[in-house]
Homo-oligomer: A and B are copies of this chain.
């Protein structure tokens, strides 16, 4: 196939196939790619900067593992248990809560996957006899439970966010709010929180209950911080990162920590697990903020520039502000005047805001990988493989295009 044909075809392949990601390895393994000239591969990264984050050329193709594949069976069980769990006595409510678990909207289940990988990664000789006495089955049961709880809290926060944001779509399908009304979205969220709280109590670990309750508080605090009307705060990167930790990273950071606690690991290991989750979560959100500028409705399943339209100044804007002081006025009035969103977009794209955001995301991804590298040695092959998968995720998070 001629290079010119491929130049047109590549973007289509990449945007149409759900199984392909924008990495050279993924493109090479695609059935259509057999005769794609190798020199065209870099184009997949550059052809449309509004669609794809730049590729990481240093990825070692042979050394890659498939994070989801490693825990696919456990994930399938988890999906079944989540569906069973929301089958309450009240059919109407159950169907509302099942909505998100059924339609495959949350098909990727990113957080449970991370937690299951974390669980296997921390298989090593335990320091205390008491911890070691806990059977592997008992530990697995607790870890699976925690993964379910984390997903329930995540979905509950999505449901409540939908009410808050008056969002008409989320990830490409009409939101529960839109379909079934505010009432049911609030209640279905409350219902999931109630089930999550009950599940937590069955773990019989007060430190874990305390940490996960704090996460609930962080989710709320992060949401409220987002509406700040304080001009100084709304253009501060520190404030922005604190908000991002509360809103996005606290859930995965604390649940990773709980995995370590439930397995009986010492504080130092729990802290590394927390660091992994925290940095991964921050990297994820920074890329999310970036994709809001470079993505499109089709690839994101939601309107591009939605943050600006909601009056929120994210990392690309805050970096751009350093070069374009005129942005301050727009930030202060939350991009509400006609033309504000377009003006802000132009200034951001003309600045190094996107690049610096990407660099910050990469920095956090790298710190997440460092935390995994600092885990105590293990003799288990499965643990080693899962650690590689956790590291692989830090790459995937910053190279994802949706």
Contact = CB atoms under 8 A, between A and B. Distances in A.
B190 A160 contact: yes
B216 A206 contact: no
Contacts of A227: 92, 183
B183 A164 contact: yes
Contact of A186 (B164, B191, B194, B225): B164
A224 interface: yes
Interface stretch (A6-14, A73-81, A196-204, A341-349): A196-204
Given A163-B163, A164-B187, A201-B209, A194 B182 contact: no
Range of interface residues on A (Cβ < 8 Å): 35 or more
A88 interface: yes
A221 interface: yes
A202 B210 contact: yes
A109 interface: no
Nearest to A215: B194
A223 interface: yes
Contacts of A201: 206, 209-210, 213
A212 B204 CA distance: 15
A83 interface: no
Contacts of A198: 210, 213-214, 217
Contacts of A216: 190, 193-194, 197
Interface in A159-206: 160, 163-164, 182-184, 186-187, 190-191, 193-195, 197-198, 200-202, 204, 206
Nearest 7 A/B pairs, CB to CB: A194-B216, A201-B209, A198-B213, A197-B213, A194-B217, A201-B210, A93-B224
Given A197-B197, A202-B206, 12 more contacts: A88-B221, A90-B225, A164-B182, A164-B186, A182-B182, A190-B220, A193-B193, A194-B213, A197-B216, A198-B217, A201-B213, A204-B206
Interface of A: 88-90, 92-93, 160, 163-164, 182-184, 186-187, 190-191, 193-195, 197-198, 200-202, 204, 206, 209-210, 212-214, 216-217, 219-221, 223-225, 227-228
